[in-house]
Amino acid sequence: MTIEEEIFYPALEGKIEEDLLKEGYVEHDGAKTLINELEASGPDEEYYDAQVKVLSEQIEHHVGEEEKPRVGMFAQAKKAKVDLDDLGQKMEARKKQLLAVAKASGLPEAELTTMDSANH
């Protein structure tokens, strides 16, 4: 989600439907909220399993929106001649950096982009 929000989504700004892009950010925040919650709790928590299930459903939905034929984000980006190969390389490089940080020191709590976090 970080590499999409840092690199992919900004590159689509003005090139694909604004509504779709905004929904993408909000869907990321929904997933981040659940991930933060799961990171802070454990399998013994009453709602843990339900949260894992809903998270996986949300991610499936989100990926579906990105990859939907003709109207999805990727399809619209291709139509708008966005250089997806170039973006892919940049995202891959950033992903490597982030994974190295995660391995070395762990990742901080995910920051929400479109709403205030209820966790603070």
Count of residues binding Fe ion (CB under 5 A)?
Answer: 1
Nearest-angstrom CA–CA distance, 6 and 11: 9
DSSP notation for 32-78? HHHHHHHHHS-TTSTTHHHHHHHHHHHHHHHHHHHH-TTTSHHHHHH
- Pick 26 or 38: Cβ nearer Fe ion: 26
Q: Give yes or no for residue 29 binding Fe ion (CB under 5 A).
A: no
Q: Give yes or no for residue 4 binding Fe ion (CB under 5 A).
A: yes
Q: How far is the CB of 108 from Fe ion (least distance, A)?
A: 19
- Which residue stretch of 3-11, 53-61, 95-103, 111-119 sits at the interface with Fe ion (rule: CB under 5 A)? 3-11
- Pick 4 or 29: Cβ nearer Fe ion: 4
Q: Count how many residues are written for the chain.
A: 120
Number of other residues whose CB lies within 10 A of the CB of residue 80: 12
Q: How far is the CB of 83 from Fe ion (least distance, A)?
A: 19
Q: Which two tokens stand for residue 24?
A: 């993408």
3-state secondary structure of 119: coil
- Pick 45 or 93: Cβ nearer Fe ion: 93
The answer to whether the Cα torsion of 113, 35, 59, 7 is positive or negative is positive
Q: How far is the CB of 43 from Fe ion (least distance, A)?
A: 26
Q: How far is the CB of 62 from Fe ion (least distance, A)?
A: 6
Binding residues vs Fe ion (CB under 5 A)? 4
